[in-house]
Amino acid sequence: MGKFDSCDAVARIVFSHSYSCTSKAINFAEAIKNESPAQDDRGSWAGALRHVMWQADITSKHSAYIARKIGECHEVNYSPDTSKRFFSNLDDADSTADLLNNEIGRKNGLNRWYLTSKEQMLRALWEARTNGLFKVRQTPWGQYEVFREKMDDNTYRKHFDNVKRKLW
């Protein structure tokens, strides 16, 4: 069984219910972005929060193992060294940030089976504000850096209000 076959099998298990963890995470990211859906969110707060919430939701409803497998399938074109922080292109940097944020999400989802998806969204925002999430920025010399940043109070409040207004 190849990588795509195993990804397909795991995805069928996880996404068998009508309101999938993925669609909830996408709705969360759209509420955070406050921009048009076509806006690229690679390396942004929206992308970081989407991955944290997505993996926490899958972990709490299924398992950390299944969440990790789904996360790996999502980054199927890239096998990163998550200890690297500088990259020559945005896609590789974003994939690394995604996988690091996936780890945070899985930790958030462990032993929190009782949280609803909406509560997982708020937990992801809390994590960003308290401990920080991984984002990507372009350096002055043209490389892309993966870095961990804590969300400031104003940004937290803005995103919290957007989520409440659009999703509650």
Distances from the Cα of 56 to the Cα of 13, 28, 34, 142, angstroms: 16, 13, 23, 33
Let me know the angle formed at the C-alpha of 59 by 15 and 32, rounded to the nearest 5 degrees: 80
Nearest to 68 by CA among 120, 110, 123, 37: 110
| The model's pTM | 0.82
pLDDT of amino acid 123: 93
pLDDT of amino acid 74: 73
Q: For 60, what's the count of Cα atoms within 13 Å in the CB-facing half-sphere?
A: 24
Please give the Cα distance from 126 to 148 (Å, whole number).
15
pLDDT tens digits for the chain (168 residues)? 445 456 666 666 655 543 466 667 666 666 666 543 444 778 889 899 999 999 998 899 889 998 898 888 877 666 678 899 999 999 999 999 999 999 999 999 998 888 888 888 899 999 999 999 999 999 999 999 999 999 999 999 998 998 888 877
